[in-house]
Structure 1
């Protein structure tokens, strides 16, 4: 008897097309998308999440190295506003919120005699702008000449007509180039991956324009805001890692019967004037609108087409903008701020190292290092000494050390592009040795891993708020579509979470009848 064989797939055959319906389709399974999906599902809306990667969480993810489960992206959250802590509490994680080591970070810069120099970052300031330009910690970094120039800010009259827009321009004019290069630029690169000249002051330091006017100087305005926001300016983390937030959200989505499709690359978004006629559907809490959206995605098995009255675009910046271009034909021409007018995305990559290096037990550079752009022989822009920053990780590591290095500055090619994993590990180890001031070699390296983001759009760039407003106006004219995520909300979970909640609540308002208990 001959053995049965499976026919080879016919490359000319039509791709398999799967059709489905939902009340809400969420494009993107990062934290913004998961939060929006959960908020919609809580009131009974049927939600489908389409995520192009195999893992959920976006910039909040995990990496397994040497038996440790570590954060591959965000490892903390800003406490301002309270939205993240409230979310964590609702997910049962409130008791696991922890404070980092308050030791603070250092700055690595060119040394006066060549090579590198390092000093603790001043603790009284905002975005590197010192509240006390003549302080010892400031002079240690910019010298007496730089500090004296910065102090001129205290006697130079503040322009009371108009507003400062560029963070870099303001610092340069008020305090000089040394403060900009040595204190402000490293933080701008580390936090926003953006040159300070391109950062919108009102976004990155809200209230500073007004505080400057009240106090009569930039340093005085910074000092006032530091005092006012001292309680709300802290960062915190989760015992075990921020990736536990994604796990908790995923469990809740499962509990509320949310459909999550991984490996689904969304390729199209268009109006379906038939309202999804012919699709199997379940009654929504509100009457089905006359029109729905058709969301098309490619999957491992073929093509998936989902019809839904509401769509939440929670994908990364340019991916979401491409879908808006598809959905709102002509919006770019009418608004003048279409996707082609948005800035190029930054290329950011993190490299995590697990080390056997007893010399790091003393945390020689505090909880991490920021790097001046002109620091010689170093490619990284920042380093976090994670086992020095988080006590839970110190316990879990059992004598090992975990450091994370960040690569990719605005307007420049990422130095890791085109390098193999082995080459990246070698470079990161050399950078870590220079930045931490401790000899490190390959014998100490137990494991390494890399995580890349190639579509990071900063909402803090000058002009970005206007582009976001134009986008929001265009979407408001087409009910049934929302956009959320860091590219429109701002950097960090403290900005992303409340923005995603508001987007979801607008969907709920449209889709849930008043007597349905919303």
Structure 2
């Protein structure tokens, strides 16, 4: 019977795994969470910004997936679930800021899309002509979304719409992200024989009710079926603290796991510096770490899985949180935020107008914002000091809104390698990881089945169930 489990990684995936393990294995089980940082939470991080708890990592989650609302209810935190205001999102492209067009599926236009304020006449003509052009698609295949959009609808749709939307979700570029992993409903519609990309988007949007806006800036106006997005009042630390209390693991911070080996009775983890190694023997292991770390630890125990994990690349990003006196931010547009096309002469990829988007952040007479910087391949542009990142964010805010006053508070949060990239063939890599694991070993995290919080929770719970069945 499994009674000793190590969870490597104390982010939301690892804590969800620990919580599920406690439920399955009971109070006598020894569950150890090993976290390399000096705190739990991973890319969920709540800080104090001018007297209010403020999330500087992931901000919102899809409430139409059940995982977060169900977990909040299970932990007695149902009242902590909040939804955005009706404020709508905007987009900056071709030197203009306008409403984020409705009627798209992650930036892929449906027949209902209204793109007049975003595309040039030539761009509009290319989109309008797409349904009449013959479509060649190999069922089960995968291509980069950017290549597909450019070949079917032209460069403007890719650069001005899909790229900023996907940049908000993955910190990735539309030309490197695979259709099948990033917009699975679109790939499924193409597999089923949709005669055009527009028709496929129509089918996918009708069946999946997918949100058409980035989680970074989108509001949540009254939409059919109820709210799309949610957040946690008090920040994600409310959820993280409750998970730790309920799971009751031994949490070891600043603990680096260097090696993982199979033993006759289970698994041995080697921790600490090479000069003073420590061995931890357990019955089962959940690896809830970024893909490169998983690849390193799996190298001897599961080489096929390790190879696949090693092929998943990461993107780095930065969040700059800013708080202003209300009178100094009077020119802020009444939108939930703005996405920025990659070819705009700005450093940021998005601003979230947090106090407008979330009613619970509108108190205290202050206006709170967050700027997002960094796309895949731009890591070197982020290697400047915090003061320079704040200066870049403020300069772009002035360009977009006219706000030039100094903020009353700032916080810079760097996420080195914070987001996995779902490239072409990603699902095959994930399948190789999961099918290549021996009994008693499981993998969880954002590199698998989605970068959002609900998907990460789901992978943690699934991993816990896999290893709890070890005999």
SS at match of 1:451: strand
1:73 aligns with 2:35: no
- Structure 1 distance, partners of 2:321, 2:353, is 10
* Mapped contact 2:291–2:309 kept (Cα < 8 A): no
- Structure 2 distance, partners of 1:361, 1:223, is 39
Listed as ranges, the matches of 1:168-207 within 5 Å are 168-207=146-185
From the superposition, tell whether residues 233 and 101 of structure 1 become closer, same or farther in structure 2 (CA, over 3 Å): closer
- What is aligned with 1:440? 404
- Structure 1 distance, partners of 2:61, 2:358, is 13
* Mapped contact 1:100–1:235 kept (Cα < 8 A): yes
Unaligned runs of 5+ in 2: 210-224
- What is aligned with 1:247? 241
* Mapped contact 1:22–1:306 kept (Cα < 8 A): no
1:57 aligns with 2:41: yes
1:399 aligns with 2:359: no
- What is aligned with 1:83? 67
- Structure 1 distance, partners of 2:169, 2:262, is 38
- Structure 2 distance, partners of 1:447, 1:235, is 27
Listed as ranges, the matches of 1:28-43 within 5 Å are 28-42=9-23, 43=25
Tell me how far 1:401 sits from its aligned partner: 1.2
Please report the RMSD computed on the Cα atoms of aligned residues, expressed in angstroms: 2.5
SS at match of 1:207: helix
* Mapped contact 1:357–1:440 kept (Cα < 8 A): no
* Mapped contact 2:295–2:306 kept (Cα < 8 A): no
Deviates more, 1:44-53 or 1:360-369: 360-369
* Mapped contact 2:102–2:113 kept (Cα < 8 A): no
Listed as ranges, the matches of 1:261-410 within 5 Å are 261-273=252-264, 291-298=265-272, 303-328=277-302, 331-332=303-304, 337=307, 340=310, 342-358=311-327, 360-361=329-330, 363-364=332-333, 366-376=335-345, 378-395=346-363, 398-410=364-376
Tell me which of 216, 232, 238 is aligned to 1:238: 232
- Structure 1 distance, partners of 2:419, 2:15, is 20
- Structure 2 distance, partners of 1:465, 1:225, is 19
From the superposition, tell whether residues 302 and 449 of structure 1 become closer, same or farther in structure 2 (CA, over 3 Å): farther
Deviation string 1:160-183 (CA, Å, 9 cap, x unpaired) is 653453211221122111111111
SS at match of 1:411: coil
- Structure 2 distance, partners of 1:357, 1:433, is 15
SS at match of 2:119: helix
SS at match of 1:327: coil
Tell me how far 1:459 sits from its aligned partner: 5.3
Which runs of at least 4 in structure 1 moved beyond 4 Å after TM superposition?
A: 212-215
* Mapped contact 1:347–1:414 kept (Cα < 8 A): no
- What is aligned with 2:5? 24
Deviation string 1:365-422 (CA, Å, 9 cap, x unpaired) is 611111111111x111111111111001112xx12111111111112334221x2222
Tell me how far 1:303 sits from its aligned partner: 4.5
* Mapped contact 1:359–1:438 kept (Cα < 8 A): no
From the superposition, tell whether residues 244 and 361 of structure 1 become closer, same or farther in structure 2 (CA, over 3 Å): farther
- Structure 1 distance, partners of 2:132, 2:328, is 46
From the superposition, tell whether residues 293 and 66 of structure 1 become closer, same or farther in structure 2 (CA, over 3 Å): same
Listed as ranges, the matches of 1:144-163 within 5 Å are 144-159=121-136, 161-162=138-139, 163=141
The structure with the larger Rg is: 1
From the superposition, tell whether residues 134 and 392 of structure 1 become closer, same or farther in structure 2 (CA, over 3 Å): closer
Deviation string 1:238-289 (CA, Å, 9 cap, x unpaired) is 22223321121122123xxx2111111111111233xxxxxxxxxxxxxxxx
- What is aligned with 2:213? none
- Structure 2 distance, partners of 1:233, 1:479, is 40
TM-score (norm 1): 0.81
* Mapped contact 1:22–1:48 kept (Cα < 8 A): no
- What is aligned with 1:276? none
1:97 aligns with 2:62: no
- Structure 1 distance, partners of 2:395, 2:426, is 37
TM-score (norm 2): 0.89
Tell me which of 126, 145, 158 is aligned to 2:105: 126
* Mapped contact 1:50–1:262 kept (Cα < 8 A): yes
SS at match of 1:56: coil
Tell me how far 1:215 sits from its aligned partner: 5.0
